[in-house]
Every structure is written in structure tokens, then in C-alpha cells.
Amino acid sequence: MTQRIREFLRNRREDGPCMVLDLEVVRDNYMKFASALPDTRVFYAVKANPAPEVLHMLATLGSCFDTASVQEIEMALAAGATADRISFGNTIKKERDIARALALGVRLFAVDCQAEVDKIARAASAADIDDAKVFCRVLCDGAGAEWPLSRKFGCDPQMAPDVLEHAYRQGLEAYGVSFHVGSQQGNTEAWDSALAMAADVFRACGERGIILSMVNLGGGFPTKYLKDVPAVEAYGNSIFNALRRHFGNRIPETIIEPGRGMVGNAGLIETEVVLVSKKSEADEVRWVYLDIGKFGGLAETMDESIRYPIRSERDHEGEKAPCILAGPTCDSADVLYEKQPYMLPVSIEIGDKLLIEGAGAYTTTYSAVAFNGFPPLKSYVI
């Protein structure tokens, strides 16, 4: 909660939940990444929060952009990024979207199988483009992450040299390797085993005469929710040491893709208590219903994965007691925290405002278009 956000909310008159993001915090985060990993290029993961003001400020600061779709590429370009600073980082792309990205000047693409390489090769060839680059994403176990990744993205490391060789033979530049250690990764050492794997892929490709240049270290840098998280410098040191350990004095070009770590702590959501009730007189736990829920922007509460800090103006009033927190929709799945109830003040009342902190990432765009007729989450960037 910054002073600027506090003042903004004091003057806000509109109804309904909103997310307010302080650009100065984003600037500060960018600077920390840049100084913690001075030889690494920062590709901001646009999907975390694509607000034009965020993209524009990061573009001005010199950031590059990791994008998931042609729409996100267009947003980054509109914010002032040049195409050479944009990566099409989704491993799942329609061939016509690849063609559009190439036409917009983008040359860097993620792949995790030969079929995706074929699409890029065909689209590049059709447009007479001979400098398209691909990096191959490899699977990584994600231990230590709060929002661990499934096997959806990446191939087994043993398959990566085949994918990269295939790209090379199709006339693309086999540029490097990427991985993702899992979102909200609390273990600064998590990059070590992934970098060992990346070095293996570099060696296997080298034996086939293919010289890779780049390791994409992915995202995973945490934002502070309920628990403290290590500082960015600790991640920087640990990554640098792991690079030295596995690549010796031939350290490759590196990039990182922070999303949550760039904007998470810059934003918060203001929400209103709509109802406080019990299911029976004997119930010990209150149900507290908010005007935002799983379908209004808090999708990451799925399986109670991300536990946001929640503040109330009554926090100082003494006693707290457990609550089940739920959203306002007529969907029984729209319950935020039940298995592990939240402690909130006993004195909490209908109409109270609560602040959900660390909500700058993965909230606004997740919001449902009109479920139950509720409008999508409002966003203010200040």
C-alpha cells in the first residue's frame, strides 16, 4: 500500500471492486532486476498485466517483452517497444499468427516440438525471412513453486536437441533453450538443476555442430504475499553462480521473463464486504462474501494456490477469527479460501472495505467478461 494508492482510493467515488497499480513500484522492480542480473536482458511477461501505462514505462526503461499472442505483440509495439525487443514466447501458436508476428518484425519464437518448428519455418519461408530464431523450452520439475507448472509447456530435455536440429535444418537459427522453474518460486537455488539441464542441451547440440547462444531463464520470481520472499539480489547471485558452475567461462547470453515479480506488489484490489453470515447458529466459522471472486479477477485462488494478504481497517480492533472467503457470483465454485480459512477481525461488517495486496499481476485480464452480469474488474494505473 503506497501513499499514492492510499490517496487515490480516498478520492475514488465509483462503485465496485477495483485494482490500483502504482507505476513507481514497477519502475523500482525493473531497476532491481536490471541491477541484480546486469548481463541479462529483461523480457517482461506482458500477460501478467498488459496495462498500456505499464508497457509504456517499461519500454522507456529499456525492457524487452515476452508475449503470448499477436494481440500482446501489438500492445507492446503500441507502447513503444521495437520488434527486436519482443519475443513470441507461447509454444502454442497458429501458423497465421506466426506469419502476422513475422510481418510485424518479430524474429524470436518459443517452440517445444518439431511441428511448431515447421510452422515457423513455413511462415518465414513464405515471407522470405531468413533471420527467424527459435529457442526450445524444456520441462522442469517446478519444485518449490507456489503455482507449480504442469507438463503443458516444454519437452523432455533429451528431445530438445532433436527439436533444435530440426529448426537448424529448416533454415531457422537454433538460438537457445528456455525453461520455467514454476511461478512464485521461493527457492533461489531452483535454477541450478535447470541450468545443468540447459548446459547438457548446449553440449548435445554442439556435438551435432549446432552452436546455441542463449538461455532463457524464464520467470518464477516471486512477489510477497503472506510469506516473505527472498530479495531479487539473492536470485541474481544464485543464478550467476549456477551459470558459472554449468557453463564455466563460456556463459551464454541470458534473458529473464518476470511477470508477477515485476508488477505483483505494485497493485492492490479494493473490495467491499457484501455479506457476513453463518450457516447455522453453531458454526464457528463465518462466511464473508466479497464483491470480487474467482471469476472477477482472483482466478489464482484456484485450489487456494495464491494466498493474498488481506487488510481491513479494523485490523487494529483486536480479536480475529477464521472466515471462509467467497465471491459474489451464483456459482458455488466461487469460493476463495475455505480449506485454510483466513483470520479476519471479529468486528468486520457488511459494507467494510478490504484491501487485497500483491494483486498487480494476473488479476485484471483473468476477469470474466460478464459472468452473472458483473462487469470486469476495473483497473487504474497511477
134-157 per-residue burial string, b: 16 or more CB within 10 A, e: under 16: bbbbbbbebebbbbebeeebbbeb
Name which of 73, 361, 331 is nearest 220 in CA terms: 361
Is the Cβ of residue 61 or residue 299 nearer to a second copy in the bound state?
299
Instruction: Please report, as residue ranges, which positions from 113 to 172 form the binding site for a second copy (by CB under 8 A).
Output: 113, 115-116, 119, 139, 147-156, 158-159
DSSP assignment, residue 8?
H
Is the Cβ of residue 176 or residue 296 nearer to a second copy in the bound state?
296
How many angstroms separate the CA atoms of 319 and 232, rounded? 35
Phi, psi (rounded to 5 degrees) for 56: -65, -45
Type of residue found at 93:
K
Q: How far is the CB of 301 from a second copy (least distance, A)?
A: 12
Instruction: Please report, as residue ranges, which positions from 361 to 380 form the binding site for a second copy (by CB under 8 A).
Output: 364-376
Q: How far is the CB of 19 from a second copy (least distance, A)?
A: 12
Instruction: Please report, as residue ranges, which positions from 313 to 342 form the binding site for a second copy (by CB under 8 A).
Output: 326, 328-335, 338
Q: How far is the CB of 282 from a second copy (least distance, A)?
A: 8
Out of 84, 277, 313, 343, which residue is the one contacting a second copy (CB under 8 A)? 277
Annotate each residue in 7-46 with x if it binds a second copy (CB under 8 A) or - if it does not, as one string.
Answer: --------x-----------------------------xx
Is the Cβ of residue 21 or residue 335 nearer to a second copy in the bound state?
335
Contact indicator for 108, 66 with CB cutoff of 8 Å? no
- The dihedral through the CA atoms of 226, 231, 236, 237 has a sign that is negative
Long-range contacts of 158-161 (CB under 8 A, 24+ apart): 159/113, 160/136, 160/201, 160/204, 161/201, 161/204, 161/205, 161/208, 161/210
- Contact status: 302 vs a second copy (CB under 8 A): yes
Q: How far is the CB of 243 from a second copy (least distance, A)?
A: 25
Count of positions on this chain that bind a second copy (CB under 8 A): 78
Q: How far is the CB of 241 from a second copy (least distance, A)?
A: 27
Out of 12, 96, 203, 244, which residue is the one contacting a second copy (CB under 8 A)? 96
Is the Cβ of residue 33 or residue 153 nearer to a second copy in the bound state?
153
Q: Is 330 a catalytic residue?
A: yes
How many angstroms separate the CA atoms of 91 and 117, rounded? 10
- Contact status: 184 vs a second copy (CB under 8 A): no
Q: How far is the CB of 311 from a second copy (least distance, A)?
A: 21
- Contact status: 1 vs a second copy (CB under 8 A): no
Is the Cβ of residue 183 or residue 243 nearer to a second copy in the bound state?
183
Residue with cell 489464482: 300
Neighbours of 196 (CB within 10 A): 14
How many angstroms separate the CA atoms of 44 and 262, rounded? 7
- Contact status: 236 vs a second copy (CB under 8 A): no
77 burial via Cβ count (<10 Å: 0-12, 13-18, 19+): buried
Is the Cβ of residue 117 or residue 229 nearer to a second copy in the bound state?
117
Instruction: Please report, as residue ranges, which positions from 43 to 82 form the binding site for a second copy (by CB under 8 A).
Output: 45-47, 50, 67-72, 75
- The dihedral through the CA atoms of 145, 146, 149, 150 has a sign that is positive
Is the Cβ of residue 36 or residue 323 nearer to a second copy in the bound state?
323
Q: How far is the CB of 18 from a second copy (least distance, A)?
A: 14
Of 124-132, 186-194, 288-296, 313-321, which segment contacts a second copy by CB under 8 A? 288-296
Three-class DSSP category at 9: helix
Residue with cell 545443468: 196
Is the Cβ of residue 236 or residue 334 nearer to a second copy in the bound state?
334
Longest dimension (CA), the chain: 74
- Contact status: 247 vs a second copy (CB under 8 A): no
- Contact status: 287 vs a second copy (CB under 8 A): yes
Catalytic annotation, residues? 330
